[in-house]
Amino acid sequence: MIGIFDSGVGGLSLLRELDHSLPEADFLYLSDSACFPYGTRPPEWIKDRAAAITRVLTGRGCSLVVAACNTATVAAIEHLRKKFPVPFVGIVPPVKPAAATSPEKPLAVLMTENTAEGSKYTDLVKTYAGDSVVAEVRLPLLAEVVEELGFTDPVQAERVVAEVRSRLGKSRSGWRLVLGCTHYVFLRPLLERGLGPEVEVLDPCSAVAAQVVRVCESRGITVIEGGARRYLTTGDPERFAWQVSELLGVQRPQVEKVELA
Ligand code: DGL
């Protein structure tokens, strides 16, 4: 079984991708809804929290843990790798592939405060983006709009697009917009429609799903199971079940409340 976690619903965007790549694997998703958002929490706190989450996931039999959260990956993945024997796969803004494919195109990276401040992200830019122009766009309330499913309301949706558009500025033609938070992946169709063809939107979900498949192969992790999808939340299970069914189109998802030590 593969464990996957996020501060909330963002990681469901990666689970949706993994659903296609590993349909017969069992997945256990943990949403730390009680502590959402992670974006502005102290990195030390995120490290401890991610370790507590990993204990739950491995305690329930997960043999691989996916940190489906850029913020948690940047703050905690090295710590988790040192602390636990299971393999981890994380997610970071796809600056490397974006810069490699079109170095001449400027990048705008949409992400949380913590991701932007983390050395994992700044190293990524230094190492791979070289001379590309990289603009950081931090919109602290954006993940909240996804969490509340507010983007399904046309008025809020237009506000999101207007905010991103204004951050990119008038000279946005030819820019590539990198989604550096798993929550924002659910906004991708909206952003693509709203920003038009002059801005290309990129997210790392398919590349991360491919990495999960590679790690399963190299570590001999069983991916032919019953194809179960189960959910844990530190918040309200009924609310999380509603979010899962709205975002993934799953009927009556199995959600259990969990307390973290
Ligand atoms: N989904 C998380 C990420 O990918 C962030 C949301 C939050 O601030 O908790 O960074």
Whose C-alpha lies nearest to ligand 1, atom 8?
39
The confidence score (pLDDT) of residue 22 equals 98
Q: What ligand 1 atom has the least distance to the C-alpha of 39? A: 8
Name, in order, each residue with C-beta under 8 angstroms of 166's C-beta and a sequence gap of 6 or more. Answer: none
pLDDT digits (tens), the chain, 261 positions: 999 999 999 999 999 999 999 999 999 999 999 999 999 999 999 999 999 999 999 999 999 999 999 999 999 999 999 999 999 999 999 999 988 888 888 899 999 999 999 999 999 999 998 877 888 999 878 999 999 999 999 999 999 999 999 988 877 788 899 999 999 999 999 999 999 998 999 999 999 999 999 999 999 999 999 999 999 999 999 999 999 999 999 999 999 999 998
DSSP, res 122: H
CA 70 / ligand 1 centre spacing (Å): 6
Instruction: Name the residue of 38, 137, 203 to mutate for ligand 1: max ligand atoms within 8 A of Cβ.
Output: 38
Q: Is the CB of 70 under 6 A from ligand 1?
A: yes
Residue 205 to residue 66: CA distance in whole angstroms = 12
DSSP, res 182: G
Which CATH number fits the domain 2-91+206-257, given the four candidates 3.30.450.40, 2.102.10.10, 3.40.50.1860, 3.50.50.60? 3.40.50.1860
Whose C-alpha lies nearest to ligand 1, atom 2?
69
Which residue out of 35, 62, 69, 216 is catalytically annotated? Answer: 69
Q: What ligand 1 atom has the least distance to the C-alpha of 7? A: 9
227: left (phi over 0), alpha (psi -120 to 50) or beta: left
The confidence score (pLDDT) of residue 141 equals 86
Residue 25 to residue 203: CA distance in whole angstroms = 23
Q: Is the CB of 195 under 6 A from ligand 1?
A: no
Q: If DSSP codes are grouped into helix, strand and coil, which group holds residue 107?
A: strand
The confidence score (pLDDT) of residue 171 equals 76
Active site residue 62: no
The confidence score (pLDDT) of residue 238 equals 98
The residues spanned by each domain of the chain are: 2-91+206-257, 95-203
149: left (phi over 0), alpha (psi -120 to 50) or beta: left
Q: What is the DSSP string of 36-92?
A: ---TTS-HHHHHHHHHHHHHHHHHTT-SEEEE--HHHHHHHHHHHHHH-SS-EE---
Contact 30, 233 (CB under 8 A): yes
Predicted confidence (pLDDT) per residue in 85-116, tens digit: 999 999 999 999 988 888 888 899 999 999 99
pTM of the model: 0.96
Instruction: Name the residue of 6, 49, 142 to mutate for ligand 1: max ligand atoms within 8 A of Cβ.
Output: 6
CA 232 / ligand 1 centre spacing (Å): 17
Q: What ligand 1 atom has the least distance to the C-alpha of 6? A: 1
Same topology, domains 2-91+206-257 and 95-203? Answer is yes
- The number of helices, as runs of H, and strands, as runs of E, in the chain is 11, 10
What CATH code is assigned to 95-203? 3.40.50.1860
Residue of 236, 254, 234 lying closest to 52 (CA atoms): 234
CA angle 32, 239, 91 (to 5 degrees): 35
Active site residue 181: yes
